[in-house]
Chain A
């Protein structure tokens, strides 16, 4: 037997095994990237760094939204050594049971995820992973805990950023942030569980502009999930960039002042700069401190309270309260009448109370007087001329023709639909057109007599305060407007393009003088309904209104712009259940105008009276 040949068997065996191994290693290392990915998964953590959100300035460069550092108390179960529950509970001001419960809560809550396939919450708790034990502690709270953390291995502090609103106002405009929903994470890969997203207002509308660019840091981590070093000396890292600041057209001083004036009342104020469409102030009363809704802890504590408040502080009145516009509609009707040529500036009508009720005043000899006296029969007759122009033989068809024309005019004022703007949560209001009445009454079964209440802004017509304030801005501009909006500039680029487009109504500018004269008289002539809004040195043009309220006292409404020449502010004030327009809304409007134009209030008594008045406001308990 040739045994020497057997050494070749052994050498072949070596070569075979080494060959197979090299083949496998070549496959593993060079061809297949499964293991490379697995190694990345294991050792290289992509740490996403979220920049602080963009800050927001008001029109005068005041910082109205900033960021504040908060702290999370993090916990890694594997690193906890002999936790003295009693001492720990004492440190964070909890009971021992609460501490124990929190551990359980983390395992079931943060430590699990919703499995889409099985549709169940699936446990994924890992002892080596860090979980926030306490969230959103202030510096003050953390500074009490932090010095003692050395006694509690496994616990450490971690800084996070949250919103801060130094002026404590404009909650309804700015909105708030809250944790992203699962669906939002699925939709936009930017977010990670636990991130915040703009949930309302400016924070929501400008979410993409405010959130900035997140940075990605690749780090090498250990099996205990500790970061060891940056991967490849940070070659692949990207830097987090904070978003450019937003500049709002809002005047935070005016906004805060408006909220003070409206305290203990329900209602709203909308002020617009006519020349730009920028919203100077938008008060929704009662208001609340936006800091109440910063962070999960605050939201869960305060949101239910706000939601349960019978005064409805969360209801965005300027955008969603749809009122019959009342007297302000007379201004619009005058303009349409003149443009249509059915009346002119000097058209007079007798105050015929048999047509529609009115208060005692001399008959209006022209439009200015009609506005000054807010004469109902005048507008009954004027609008009848618009609707029933006698073009068609059939009375019903004639009304349809007239209403169609009227509708087109009204729509050119931006009414009957929401504005395409950064004001979120608008309601469209309601402007009836022939189709609306056809549906309501039937085709060719209605005429002016059926729909006459729209002539004085009652009946089917409904507008939001924002829309009404915009009507005032249009009158101040004599026929055009920019879409009302909040943000005048995003970083160094200007506002959104749709805010820079001048929108013309179908009314010629010549017709506005008569209306403006009427509004001047309302405030500045003795016997005018808006004399409470009168100011020295500045001519305020206004119009009172009273919105009939079937549920109780009428709402007090006042519209104004000032100064008469080169207007700087157009304003609409609504005070719910406060009676006629001159009583509360006019003085508040005057104070707002004065605050905006002069920054100083001459009549301190009036200011105090307005601030302290409590109208239809339900006190908590």
Chain B
């Protein structure tokens, strides 16, 4: 029997305070953007701000419930929670489509999105599974199991379809990376099949996820530069370089720079190993860039159009790119100090220039009203939350808690990065909310519960003896 403690004794006040600040900022922004002169009261529940206030209060109530429950339950019940979420994800596919997606479970406006809660249950199960592993135990089976914990809900979410949440699920890959989950067992099967090759571990396998990420970024950069022509005058030679050659040139520069740095700072043994990595990286990167460049040229026009639009290479202000163009206009017109609270002319709900400006595009009115100064404040707040979660993660005794905390950090970061990227032309428009800001019950509840579970786990961290 533990001593009965006060609920808030081990609460991480900095994180909790940052959460409350965000909720208030979000509510203020929703109030501004959806302001209705005829119902100016914040407590008018027929208006969006009234409902948002309700959702915030309800989420805090859920948080209280989470704090009343012993945190051990999450580890213990991770599998049933995950399983029931999968059932809901299947059931939701048979629900009538809203805006072309079978994402909503429930009646009328009071529906929930199982995909929101799938993030929590997947985090819990992943934490439970990985915390039971040790690095040396890793086999093909463990890698595949860990991957399928992600891939099953991802597949179901893709069927809805909900591209946004699907992309968010890839954030778990970084958690796996942090926990040292290596893809070596799979990779070694292929590599060691080559006669005479016998590796115990590969650099690529253990850093598989960042490498994958880097390659995706490299491909996108290649495409972004595809339309650009570089004219370089070199020793009297006029060279015209296409996008991919620019990327390859850039890689070469990095390669040379790294080589020079290594000559100066590293030991001989490290050097030879890193040279292999760098050279391979250069070759693979260049090859990929070349293939992407040529492959893109071979695509049909309409496919190219879609990709160019997706990447924001083409301006089509009244067509497919309407939302992003309007959103960027709203954000960009904010200036340094902003237009002032409730002065957003582009992104208010009434003017309706930016669709969904109270939900997915809530950053627009915020940035328009508070300008760059407001944006910096928001970014600092977000970074503080993320950093604080990492700090919390690293102080956990139980690896379950740590892994779960990383899951929360990565999910919040993904939402933050994609949502704001959408508003500034860096990310395609896939509908995902800005946590604690965007209007909407499902996301508010799921993010709050997710964070309160973390706070509860942290509050009870000392109970865990393992």
Contact = CB atoms under 8 A, between A and B. Distances in A.
Interface of A: 1, 3-4, 6-7, 9-11, 13-15, 17-18, 20-22, 24-26, 28-30, 32, 34-36, 38-44, 220-224, 228, 231
A402 B371 CA distance: 85
A4 B135 CA distance: 13
A10 B332 contact: no
Given A7-B390, A22-B375, A28-B328, A14 B353 contact: no
Contact of B345 (A18, A22, A231): A231
Contacts of B410: 10
18 contacts: A3-B178, A4-B394, A7-B178, A7-B393, A10-B178, A14-B413, A17-B413, A22-B376, A29-B332, A29-B367, A35-B329, A38-B325, A38-B329, A39-B332, A40-B333, A41-B329, A220-B351, A223-B352
B350 A222 contact: yes
Nearest to B355: A223
Contacts of A41: 329
A224 B352 contact: yes
A3 B368 CA distance: 42
A21 B426 CA distance: 9
B335 interface: yes
Contacts of B249: none
A42 B367 contact: no
Contact of B379 (A21, A224, A228): A21
B178 A30 contact: no
Given A38-B332, A39-B330, 9 more contacts: A1-B135, A3-B179, A4-B394, A18-B382, A25-B331, A25-B372, A223-B353, A228-B350, A231-B345
A124 to B, nearest CB: 11
Contact of A39 (B333, B371, B394): B333
B345 A28 contact: no
B455 interface: no
Contacts of B379: 18, 21-22
B351 A39 contact: no
Contacts of A44: 345
A32 B332 contact: yes
Interface stretch (B67-75, B102-110, B161-169, B416-424): B416-424
B387 interface: yes
Interface in B189-216: 206, 210
Contacts of A9: 177-178, 210
Contacts of A11: 387, 390
A29 B353 contact: no
Contacts, number: 119
Interface residues of B, number: 49
Interface string B45-69: 0000000000000000000000000
Nearest to A11: B390
Contacts of A7: 178, 390, 393-394
Nearest to A2: B180
A244 B368 CA distance: 43
Contacts of A35: 328-329, 331-333
A29 B180 contact: no
Given A3-B180, A10-B390, A40-B333, A28 B424 contact: yes
Interface string B343-362: 00110001111000000000
Nearest to B409: A10
Contacts of B367: 25, 29
Contacts of A20: 426
A164 B376 CA distance: 61
A224 B420 CA distance: 26
A11 B336 CA distance: 27
A14 B386 contact: yes
B346 A39 contact: yes
Contacts of B333: 35-36, 38-40
Interface string B307-338: 00000000000000000011011111111100
B399 to A, nearest CB: 11
Residue of A6, A24, A30, A43 contacting most chain B CB atoms (<10 Å): A43
B377 to A, nearest CB: 11
B268 to A, nearest CB: 21
Contact of B206 (A1, A13, A25, A43): A1
